[in-house]
Structure 1
Amino acid sequence: MKALRRFTVRAHLPERLMALKQLSMNLRWSWEQPTQELFAAIDPELWDGCGRDPVALLGAVSPARLDQLAADEAFTARLDALSADLTEYLTRPRWYQRQQDAGAALPVGIAYFSMEFGVAEALPNYSGGLGILAGDHLKSASDLGVPLIAVGLYYRSGYFRQSLSVDGWQRETYPSLDPQGLPLRLLVDPTGAPVLIEVALPGAGRLRARIWVAQVGRVPLLLLDSDIGENVHQLRGVTDRLYGGDQEHRIRQEILAGIGGVRAIRAFTKLEGLPAPEVFHMNEGHAGFLGIERIRELIAGEGLDFDTALAVVRSATVFTTHTPVPAGIDRFGTGMVRRYFAGEDEALAAGVPVDRIVELGAEDDPGTFNMAHMGLRLAQRANGVSRLHGRVSRAMFNGLWPGFDSDEVPIGSITNGVHAASWAAAPWLQLSRDLAAPDSFSEPAAWQRLQQVDPVTLWSIRAQLRSLLVDEVRLRLLHSGLDRGASEAELGWIATAFDPDVLTIGFARRVPTYKRLTLMLRDSDRLEQLLLDEHRPVQLIVAGKSHPADDDGKALIQQIVRFADRPEVRHRIAFLPDYDMSMARRLYAGCDVWLNNPLRPLEACGTSGMKSALNGGLNLSIRDGWWDEWFDGENGWAIPTADGVADENRRDDLEAAALYGLLAQSVVPRFYERDDRGVPPRWIEMVHHTLQTLGPKVLASRMVHDYVEQCYAPAAMSLRRTCEPVDGVTYGAARRLAEYCRRARQAWPQIQITDVDSTGLPDAPLLGSRLTLTATVRLAGLRPDEVAVQAVLGRVDSGDSLLEPVTVAMAHAQTAADGTEVFSTTTPLPVAGSVGYTVRVLPSHPLLSGDAELGLVTLA
């Protein structure tokens, strides 16, 4: 007999143990080892059985055990100390507050929007790297004291649980999650009634959502939940699962995340007495509709016109793109967007012209609305997530800035990072505590102290973690085999599968085709030779989920599973189903080598290798994402790429052959070459070097520092300047900026460079010879101080294209009798060889982030 509905009843805690509630409800426990150890001490077996989830543990432990603990002075002393430590963590000024005290102009609050958050396995609101990155962003913001409020959706079924059929095909199940059994609190008003936000969905009614708050250290994470009785049946399922459903379902989720998310923030900050966020950060384009809601607020509440409201919103918005391919961007039909935003009765964005909304998401296809294009048009600051991805993004979105070279497109890069306390294994955390203060992860000196650790100790830690991983692999193989229908007798071989002394390679990630899960199988005979080498074997652990609708990805998983099922190799290679944060943590710690072989340059960043590096693992990777910028020849191996080979099959063959060659000729020998202490000296040298050089770089604390300094602080300053009154008129600066942008766009088609003259060069110019350029420009009603006129010089190729040009500002010299304006500059020639120049005109205004912001340019 099955229950109709399930829910969680939490245990009544004795008064002496009430601090356990606070500790369990703040997700800091997920990266704070002493707190985890305290909960484990309540009942070690039950702790493991509850998935190391404190809320689940407190719901399952017996009242008698709680009474026993309340009388245990040693336990209560530990509880008091950890409760005081959490209070101190939540209240003590941290890096951000120290920066403010030193006079730094920082935002009073930042709103961070993402469709998924991977904070802890106890809160399965993530599918892969995007969510894990968002979770690490919140944790590091908390550690640094950054006043962040995060917003997302609460998915009743999370992503999905993965299992395998007998023939190795991925199966998905969607267990219903009870929010009352998770580390969440419901946002309620002073009367105790749940706070509801609502958005109007023309043709479907009013979509309402309650707000669950997950406390991530100092950072509140607001999760909107539509599964409530106040909604009609079809709308209750809007937040049913992550990345599920059709286009109609997705746009409703993204409307709720963006528009509903802003309304949730307004409700939360008012109830909590917090300042309204100044800066809004979109982690990908899914929540892009937040910009429409903020424009609506300014039109309705401040009486601004659309262009002025847009200027205000843009000044304080940051957009991060995570996809290196156009196919990875969410798109909707413009007809669908119009249907949702053009309703007359209680419109979703009342007062915001629907044509202007459609313009924000416009792309080449007039029938398509592009969420990334909207994100870029709503944000004055945008970035990719690695240096290479920044270059790829500038090229991919170059069409939004016609007339500009791709390297001038205003999309920067901030390379992702990972939260050390979440991903470094316990022995490394203890080692760091022995060497330096607990908060010193972000200090390079702390990582340099690892040089003091002798090779035997480092190798012992690596061997210990590899052994723990082998135990985990055997357990998971047994569970998976039983789930696929095998009997325990048939699975007896698992007891001796894998070996804690064998070189262990890990490959685990989402399974889109570009990540090439099966590249390792390209020459299966050669792989088998590596796995079964009598003296220097290799063992390989593979994991990952394919999107439920991606049959191509599922077919890749099936290929791996069928190969790993073969009796000849099954003790050396395994596919582990249901990849999640818990499995990932064990894999990063225990694998000696982390393999990554995407199709370059389609990996935006790829942080899994960073987590392996934090644990003394060595990366073996295509030079893509973060590895392209931080590989130095001694911290791992770079798989040579066959860039430029058009035939994909041939490219895969070449790169697979390079992978096998690296393994056989470099990786394997270095691992098995031992000194008289049984330590591989050259391997440990690489581990030392990896920890010292990559440790400070791969941290999410470094990443959040970068966001604060390069994005959040400039955005807050831009917002304040844009909102300044002028001549007693509120939002006067924004009104003037909007008026300037209108005039610039209107004038631009008529702007002409009518003449360019050069003087001053000798007959045989030398490097450094001074060139004088004079340009005559017709400004079509704009003033000389409202444009930037630039000379652009550099080497030229055979087609006269400028290569790595140098830009020189030209000063206004005079107004000619015919009304044209004359600009001039004198500059030394910057390069030798075949040199060329041109002149261009761009809009210029002190409230623009740069001359390329409006995407307007006139070339000579």
Structure 2
Amino acid sequence: MKALRRFTVRAHLPERLAALGRLSTNLRWSWDKPTQDLFASIDPRLWQQAGQDPVALLGAVAPARLDELAEDEQFLNALDQLAADLDDYLSRPMWYQEQDSKSMPSGIAYFSMEFGVAEVLPNYSGGLGILAGDHLKSASDLGLPLIAVGLYYRSGYFRQSLTADGWQHENYPSLDPQGLPLRLLADAAGAPVLVELAMPDAKVLRARVWVAQVGRIPLLLLDSDIPENEHDLRTVTDRLYGGDQEHRIKQELLAGIGGIRAIRAFTAIEGRPAPDVYHMNEGHAGFLGVERIREYISEQKLDFDTALTLVRASTVFTTHTPVPAGIDRFPVEMVQMYFGDDGKDGLLPEVPVGRVLAFGAEDDPSKFNMAHMGLRLAQRANGVSLLHGRVSRAMFDELWPGFDPAEVPIGSITNGVHGPTWAAPQWIELGRELAGSTEALREPNVWARLQQVDTGHIWWIRSQLRALLVEDVRQRLRRSWLERGASEAELGWIATAFDPDVLTIGFARRVPTYKRLTLMLRDPQRLEALLLDKDRPLQLIVAGKSHPADDAGKALIQQIVKFADRPEVRHRIAFLPDYDMSMARQLYWGCDVWLNNPLRPLEACGTSGMKSALNGGLNLSIRDGWWDEWYDGENGWEIPTADGLADENRRDDIEAAALYNLLEQSVTPTFYDRDDKGVPNRWVEMVRHTLQGLGPKVLASRMVRDYTEKYYAPAAQSFRRTSAPIDGLPFGAARELSAYRQRVREAWPHIEITDVDSTGLPDTPLLGSELTLTATVALAGLKPDEVDVQAVLGRVDASDALQDPVTVDMVHSGSGDGGTDIFSTTTPLPVAGSVGYTVRVLPHHPLLAGDNELGLVTLA
């Protein structure tokens, strides 16, 4: 018989063990090995059966065992010490508390559609979610006053298995939040807080708010599967990235608008200050900006443009996609349906629907673009690697017409990974011995101490981790073959499959086609020869999930599985289903080489290779994402790219051949070249160099500090200046900036550079010769100090286009005829060769993040 309903009953802990409850529900245990070891000691077998989940363990352990532990002095001493350590971690000043509080935000709200904090909370599908989880953990370690917001998916992302013929099968388990490390947000009377959104047809979408405590960071997860909702609305938060566009837009409305309302409830109940910086991790939660505009209109009685000015000043937008196809776009009619034809009957009646639609406008007038909305609502934006920043500036340059892509105001913060989560315990222990504490590992000079470590010891750690990986792979391989219908009698070969002494390569990630899961199969005979080489073999472990609707991705998985099923090679190559954080951790720890071969430049960052590098893995990768900026010739290998080649098949052939050549001629010879003690000295020196050079760079603590210093602090300061009163009028600065923006937009079509004159150059100009430029400008009613007039100089190509130009501010030097103004400058010629110049006018205001912010420019 099957149960009608499943729910979780938590065990009653003896009073002396009450601290176990706190330790189990704060997800800091997921990156604190001493706490994990304490729970494992309760019942090692049950700990493994419970998936290393403290809440599940405490629900399954026998009461007699708990009573026994309540009398075990050794266990109680360890429990008391860990409870005190958690209290200290939650309360002591961290890096953030050492900064100047006047320049820092009092609170930061971080919105993401997925969060990969721990495998016990499967609210993630891939890199975006893992990145968000690492962001929270590092924000906690650094002491940031951050509140995170997302959705609680009752089925999470899917569990993956394989059919007998290697086709991906999806299963969506129903997750009981009562059995997870979550608490329900409730008011003073104990009633659950409900967030409400008006829907079409007079319906109301309601959501409860679950709180996951990630160290010091509360993660608010909105859940629509509650009795207060009508049946069709209960399923809004059923699955991550499931359903059609109608389902998707409901999720994004709930995440953005409902997320702001959840924050308001949480901060009121918890007595915390409201955030003054809002960070959108991708455009999914972009409607949060519209809700904040509504708040200012409704509660502060501000006009729309003044409210928008305040929202922009305090908002940061991070884009993760390098291709337009990766952006959420909805039919304009669908967005209009939710916000009402005239705004009066819609979701936010105070906000004119036309203004909402304008946020998402793009070149296709029938589409509403969520990334465009994010960029229009944020004063600061960034990509997630240097290369991705360049790609993003080119991809979104239509929002800044008249500017070269290099001037589009989208910066970059290269992603990072959370060290305590992804580094193997052996490396953490070695780091602690070298540095005295794990916190010191954030500093580059500490990593330099790896020079003191014996080559043999580094090799011993790498070999130990590879052996653990082989053991894990055999267990997973057996489970997968049994699920596919094999019998135990057929699986004797698995006991010796893979070899702890063989060069081990990992390839694990989501399976969209651009990541080219099957590039390694381009020449199957050549791959087979590499796998089975008598003297220098390699073994390959592959994993990854394809989107349930992506049959092309599933076909790639099937190709790998069919190749790996062959008896000739199945002991050397495997596809492991159900890729998740626990599998990923073993792969990052144990693989000698991390393979990544995307179509450049379609990998925004690619943090999996960072996690491998953090464990001494050497990257073998196309120079895309983070690897493009941090590859140095000694920390791995660069697969030459044929990007730009129109023939995709030929490009794949070229890059696959380059991959095989590297494996044959560089990777395997270096791994198997041993000294008389069996140590590959050259390989180990590359490992040491990788750890020393990349270790401090790839850490999420570096990333979060970069966000804090380059985006959060400037946004907080901008918001404070913009929200300041003028002459006693609340938000006077915002009102003044809003009025300026309006005047500029009205005047701009009439601004004209009527004359440009140059003097001062000798007959034969030399590099450094001084050029004087004078421009006459009709400002259409704007004042000279409300614009920035610039001379732009540089080399020119055959079409007279300026290349890598230098800009020089021109100074107002008086009035001209007919109400014009004169601007001039004298500047040395910055380059030799064929040189040209022009003059341009941009808006200028001290509260703008830059003169290019408004996307307005007039050229001579």
Same structural fold, with TM-score higher than 0.5 when normalized by the shorter chain = yes
Whether contact under 8 Å (1:386, 1:604) holds in the other structure is yes
Q: Which residue matches 1:359?
A: 358
Q: Aligned equivalents of 1:237 and 1:695: distance in 2? A: 43
- Once the two structures are superposed, what CA deviation does each residue of 1:345-379 show, in whole Å capped at 9, x if it has no partner? 66311211100000000000111000000000000
Q: Which residue matches 2:447?
A: 447
Whether contact under 8 Å (1:531, 1:572) holds in the other structure is yes
Q: Which residue matches 2:672?
A: 672
Q: Is the partner of 1:645 in helix, strand or coil?
A: coil
- Once the two structures are superposed, what CA deviation does each residue of 1:564-587 show, in whole Å capped at 9, x if it has no partner? 001110000000000000000000
2:728 matches 1:728: yes
Shift of 1:263: 0.1
Q: Aligned equivalents of 2:351 and 2:735: distance in 1? A: 17
Whether contact under 8 Å (2:151, 2:222) holds in the other structure is yes
Aligned counterparts, 1:599-610, within 5 A:
599-610=599-610
Q: Is the partner of 1:851 in helix, strand or coil?
A: coil
Shift of 1:817: 3.0
- Once the two structures are superposed, what CA deviation does each residue of 1:263-300 show, in whole Å capped at 9, x if it has no partner? 00000000000000000000000000000000000000
Q: Which residue matches 2:154?
A: 156
Q: Aligned equivalents of 1:540 and 1:660: distance in 2? A: 13
Q: Which residue matches 2:332?
A: 334
Q: Aligned equivalents of 1:204 and 1:77: distance in 2? A: 58
Q: Aligned equivalents of 1:95 and 1:177: distance in 2? A: 36
Q: Aligned equivalents of 1:64 and 1:446: distance in 2? A: 47
Q: Which residue matches 2:625?
A: 625
Q: Aligned equivalents of 2:439 and 2:279: distance in 1? A: 26
Whether contact under 8 Å (2:310, 2:723) holds in the other structure is yes
Whether contact under 8 Å (1:214, 1:222) holds in the other structure is yes
Whether contact under 8 Å (2:339, 2:345) holds in the other structure is no
Change (3 A) 1:776 1:692: same
Shift of 1:104: 5.1
Shift of 1:644: 2.0
2:412 matches 1:413: yes
Q: Aligned equivalents of 1:192 and 1:271: distance in 2? A: 11
Q: Which residue matches 1:217?
A: 215
Q: Which residue matches 2:715?
A: 715
Shift of 1:503: 0.2
Change (3 A) 1:30 1:204: farther
- Once the two structures are superposed, what CA deviation does each residue of 1:439-466 show, in whole Å capped at 9, x if it has no partner? 1120112211111110111111111100
Give the AA of the match of 1:269: T
Shift of 1:17: 0.2
Give the AA of the match of 2:141: D
Q: Is the partner of 1:818 in helix, strand or coil?
A: helix
Q: Aligned equivalents of 1:487 and 1:608: distance in 2? A: 34
Q: Which residue matches 1:256?
A: 254
Unaligned runs of 5+ in 2: none
Higher mean displacement: 70-79 or 814-823? 814-823
Q: Aligned equivalents of 1:202 and 1:223: distance in 2? A: 24
Shift of 1:395: 0.2
Q: Aligned equivalents of 2:466 and 2:503: distance in 1? A: 9
**Aligned with residue 175 of structure 1, among 153, 173, 176:** 173
Give the AA of the match of 1:147: P
Q: Which residue matches 1:430?
A: 429
User: How many residues are treated as equivalent by the alignment?
Assistant: 858
- Once the two structures are superposed, what CA deviation does each residue of 1:508-549 show, in whole Å capped at 9, x if it has no partner? 000000000000000010000000001110000000000000
Give the AA of the match of 2:395: M
Q: Aligned equivalents of 1:409 and 1:548: distance in 2? A: 36
Aligned counterparts, 1:755-834, within 5 A:
755-834=755-834
Q: Aligned equivalents of 1:688 and 1:438: distance in 2? A: 18
Q: Which residue matches 1:402?
A: 401
Q: Aligned equivalents of 1:374 and 1:643: distance in 2? A: 30
Whether contact under 8 Å (1:398, 1:404) holds in the other structure is yes
Q: Aligned equivalents of 1:674 and 1:334: distance in 2? A: 64
Give the AA of the match of 1:237: T
Q: Aligned equivalents of 1:345 and 1:817: distance in 2? A: 50
Q: TM-score, normalised by structure 2?
A: 0.99
Q: Is the partner of 1:238 in helix, strand or coil?
A: coil
Q: Which residue matches 1:571?
A: 571
Shift of 1:203: 2.3
Q: Aligned equivalents of 1:680 and 1:799: distance in 2? A: 55
Aligned counterparts, 1:532-571, within 5 A:
532-571=532-571
Aligned-residue sequence identity (percent) comes to 77
Whether contact under 8 Å (2:120, 2:180) holds in the other structure is yes
Q: Which residue matches 1:189?
A: 187
Q: Is the partner of 2:140 in helix, strand or coil?
A: helix
Give the AA of the match of 2:60: A
Q: Is the partner of 1:239 in helix, strand or coil?
A: coil
Shift of 1:645: 1.1
Q: Is the partner of 2:690 in helix, strand or coil?
A: helix
Whether contact under 8 Å (1:160, 1:174) holds in the other structure is yes
Q: Which residue matches 2:503?
A: 503
Q: TM-score, normalised by structure 1?
A: 0.99
Whether contact under 8 Å (1:169, 1:555) holds in the other structure is yes
Q: Is the partner of 2:539 in helix, strand or coil?
A: strand
Give the AA of the match of 1:576: L
- Once the two structures are superposed, what CA deviation does each residue of 1:729-767 show, in whole Å capped at 9, x if it has no partner? 111110111111111111111111110000000000100
Q: Which residue matches 1:480?
A: 480
Q: Aligned equivalents of 1:631 and 1:527: distance in 2? A: 25
Q: Aligned equivalents of 1:529 and 1:718: distance in 2? A: 60
2:737 matches 1:737: yes
Whether contact under 8 Å (2:164, 2:484) holds in the other structure is yes
**Aligned with residue 128 of structure 2, among 122, 127, 130:** 130
Shift of 1:76: 0.3
Q: Aligned equivalents of 2:325 and 2:550: distance in 1? A: 14
Whether contact under 8 Å (1:325, 1:602) holds in the other structure is yes
Q: Is the partner of 1:207 in helix, strand or coil?
A: strand
Whether contact under 8 Å (2:344, 2:350) holds in the other structure is no
Shift of 1:435: 1.2
Whether contact under 8 Å (1:843, 1:856) holds in the other structure is yes
- Once the two structures are superposed, what CA deviation does each residue of 1:567-619 show, in whole Å capped at 9, x if it has no partner? 11000000000000000000000000000000000000000000001111000
Q: Which residue matches 1:521?
A: 521
- Once the two structures are superposed, what CA deviation does each residue of 1:215-271 show, in whole Å capped at 9, x if it has no partner? 000000000000000000000000000000000000000000000000000000000
Q: Aligned equivalents of 1:427 and 1:453: distance in 2? A: 13
Q: Aligned equivalents of 1:176 and 1:578: distance in 2? A: 16
Change (3 A) 1:345 1:815: closer
Whether contact under 8 Å (2:599, 2:643) holds in the other structure is no
2:847 matches 1:847: yes
Higher mean displacement: 635-644 or 430-439? 430-439
- Once the two structures are superposed, what CA deviation does each residue of 1:641-660 show, in whole Å capped at 9, x if it has no partner? 01221100000000000000
Whether contact under 8 Å (1:200, 1:346) holds in the other structure is no
Q: Aligned equivalents of 2:430 and 2:770: distance in 1? A: 60
Q: Which residue matches 1:237?
A: 235
Q: Aligned equivalents of 1:351 and 1:345: distance in 2? A: 7
Give the AA of the match of 2:239: R
Q: Aligned equivalents of 1:342 and 1:377: distance in 2? A: 21
Aligned counterparts, 1:301-316, within 5 A:
301-316=299-314
Whether contact under 8 Å (2:337, 2:346) holds in the other structure is no
Q: Aligned equivalents of 2:298 and 2:518: distance in 1? A: 54
Q: Aligned equivalents of 2:502 and 2:247: distance in 1? A: 48
